[in-house]
Amino acid sequence: TSTLAAGSHTITATYNGDTNFTTSTGTDTQTVMVAATTTTVTSAPNPSDEQQQVTITATITPVPPATGTPTGTVSFSINGPGGGDFVVPVNSSGQAVLLISTLDNSTHNIHATYSGDASYTSSTGTASQTTRK
């Protein structure tokens, strides 16, 4: 099965028997670990002009062999004039997209922190955005 949530699961198998064999039961424990993730951050256009809309995207990817789409939020921290702190939900594509048009002339460091969820660990990523006059 691929539907078990993270955690410990007791699995019980029962054989009902037949005319030649008696019934029997066996159990096992399966532990499903929370999957690790990576966070990749991009910004476009880069460089940009002051006050131009910039799209900052954090892509959350499960580390193989894990699969699926993480949920939760990404906290963006952007330094420099016009930056700030922003919390954005992760969409059904595993991305958090921030549109910002307040950045002034500077090189802005972008730090993105994925919150994690019940099945995926948190992770961080960084990028820089150059804004010019």
3-state secondary structure 80-104: CCCCEEEEEECCCCCEEEEEECCCC
Residue 82 backbone class (left: φ over 0; alpha: ψ -120 to 50; beta: rest): left
Side chain identity at residue 102, one-letter code: T
Question: For residue 10, which amino acid is it?
Answer: T
Dig out the tokens for 35 from the structure: 């999957």
Query: Where exactly are the structural domains of the chain?
Result: 37-132
The tokens of 36 are what?
Answer: 């690790």
Res 2 pLDDT > 80? no
**Span 37-132 CATH architecture:** Sandwich (2.60)
Of 97 and 1, which is predicted with more confidence?
Answer: 97
Give the mean pLDDT of 7-25.
95
Per-residue pLDDT tens digits for 31-82:
888 999 999 999 999 999 999 999 999 999 999 988 999 999 999 999 999 9
**The pLDDT of residue 90:** 98
